[in-house]
Homo-oligomer: A and B are copies of this chain.
Amino acid sequence: MNEPDLSSRQLRAFVALAETRNFTRAAARLHLSQPAFSALIRALEEAVGARLFDRSTRHVEPTVEGALFLESAQRLLRDLSLSVADLGEHVARRRGRVALAALPALAAGWLPPLLAAFRARYPDIELDVADALSEGCVERVRAGHADFALAAVRASAPELLAQPFCSDGFHLVCPRTHALARRDTVRLRDLAGEPFIHLARTSSVRQRVESALGPGAPALRPVMELEQLSTVAGMVRAGLGITVVPALTLFHFEHPDLVTRPVDAPGLRRQIYSIRRRDRSLSIAAQALFDELLAHRPVLRET
């Protein structure tokens, strides 16, 4: 079929005329002069190829075909209005969805109050948080399952864009009774020879620690490799060794028997990136959350 060009204004004019049965009043409703309104109706009739009104100078009323089209026009306008309003709801952040992937270190301590505040402010935005290790976070973004991620790897695919988000320094964790517990800060070389509890090799923390302890650095004395930080805490409390972890994970070690001390080692910082698809903007809801998180990102003192 042919596809005439209609504007919503024409439909509104048509409905107004059908309802008022009076050009002058209908024109006023549209804030138009009456001749301009008349032209609008004429153009509509030409576009659809049918007379829609019987008009004399005294009487205006829809033809049979006009009455038929009136229902269509009203429905079309209502649907249009709903569609635009729905879009507006998203723009106004009253509807939408954000899928976020974050490192467990962030997801456990720093994130929850921010999410709670976000939810209070935008109660109808659906939230989907995944806590995963860095690789998993990145993969979720790449696959489109997450809008953005906060993870500790710079990138892993060309279509992704990583931007520095925050960085945190590393801290020694040792029993309160340990000799190092008396110092305010410790240096890497202070750790030489101490029994050291490592995280698994897949962990980004472990990798960062090992790369900082490059050749020439004091050798650690590994005594075990664990997966979970809470296990590490238990081991340290039991006096089986010490460890070094990023500041963001220190909440695992809040215990009377344990102390934490910043490690004074320039370059030993873990960088956390925000990761998103390069050529796809964040949805309005996702952008809102991202802005919020960025505004409240962890402030961690330099070394």
Interface residues of A (CB under 8 A from B): 1, 3-9, 12, 48-51, 54, 56, 59, 61, 63-65, 68-69, 72-73, 75-76, 79-81, 83-88, 90-91, 279-284, 286
Interface contacts beyond A56-B279, A68-B87, A76-B83: sample of 14 additional A-B pairs, CB < 8 Å, sorted by A: A1-B84, A1-B88, A4-B84, A5-B8, A5-B9, A48-B84, A63-B283, A64-B284, A64-B286, A65-B90, A72-B79, A72-B86, A75-B79, A79-B79
Contacts of A283 on B, CB cut-off 8 Å? 63-65
Report A180 CB to chain B, min CB distance, Å. Answer: 50
Report A67 CB to chain B, min CB distance, Å. Answer: 9
**Chain copies in the assembly?**
2
List 21 A-B residue pairs with CB atoms under 8 Å apart, sorted by A's residue number: A1-B85, A1-B88, A3-B81, A5-B9, A7-B8, A48-B84, A48-B87, A49-B87, A49-B91, A50-B90, A50-B284, A54-B279, A54-B281, A56-B279, A59-B279, A64-B284, A65-B283, A69-B83, A69-B87, A72-B86, A79-B79
Contacts of A50 on B, CB cut-off 8 Å? 87-88, 90-91, 284
Report A11 CB to chain B, min CB distance, Å. Answer: 9
Report A170 CB to chain B, min CB distance, Å. Answer: 38
Per the bound structure, the CA–CA distance linking A86 and B73 in Å amounts to: 12
Contacts of A1 on B, CB cut-off 8 Å? 81, 84-85, 88
Beta-carbon nearest neighbor of A69 in chain B: B87
Q: Is the CB of A76 within 8 A of B65?
A: no
Report A160 CB to chain B, min CB distance, Å. Answer: 15
Per the bound structure, the CA–CA distance linking A49 and B65 in Å amounts to: 35
Q: Is the CB of B68 within 8 A of A86?
A: yes
Contacts of A280 on B, CB cut-off 8 Å? 54, 61, 63
Q: Is the CB of B81 within 8 A of A68?
A: no
Report A6 CB to chain B, min CB distance, Å. Answer: 5
Per the bound structure, the CA–CA distance linking A283 and B69 in Å amounts to: 13
